[in-house]
Amino acid sequence: MRLEFVGLPSAAVETIHRTGLDSYGDPVERHPSAEESGMPCRHCLQNVPAGHPFLTLAHRPFEGRNPFTETGPIYLCDPICAPATALPGVPAFLSAAQYLLRGYGPDERIVYGTGAVTQRAELTAYAKELLSRNDIAFVDLRSASNNCFLCRIQRAE
């Protein structure tokens, strides 16, 4: 099975930039240029370059709403960046030792028991294990320490 690590859809990111509002309808935070690179943009799947401004906002990376459609803080490049090409492997901006992976069904609900703190070297293997199941539609990759959404993993078409 081939996987894709994907960033936020451009349409969602364009809406955030155009409206200046997050998933709660609150204004996004605009930060001046970062002296160091390190804020992971969820659209281009790269760190915001040193010397570039960025946005911080609450985001819910789901189409619908239910008790499992989590909202959390994310960063985006400002101005808007080019979208990431779907990647077959772990994006380079993911440099922590471990991450949280969770499988979701087609109804955007967490499939109970799939959440696991996973070593970086094992991300692809665990995502493939989850996505080999018929009840898993996609896997979200989150920070193990802060639970922030980082990217989505799905079956490559």
Q: Find where tokens 């409206």 sit.
A: 19
Band the pLDDT of 33: cuts 50, 70, 90.
confident
With the C-alpha atoms ordered 76, 119, 104, 112, is the resulting torsion angle positive or negative? negative
Write down the pLDDT at residue 157: 77
Return the pLDDT at 62: 94
**String of DSSP letters for 89-123:** S--TT--SSEEEEEEE-TTS-B-TT--EEEEGGGH
Identify the weakest region by mean pLDDT among 10-14, 63-67, 101-105, 138-142.
63-67
Q: Where are the domains of the chain?
A: 9-77, 87-155
Instruction: State which amino acid sits at residue 129.
Output: E
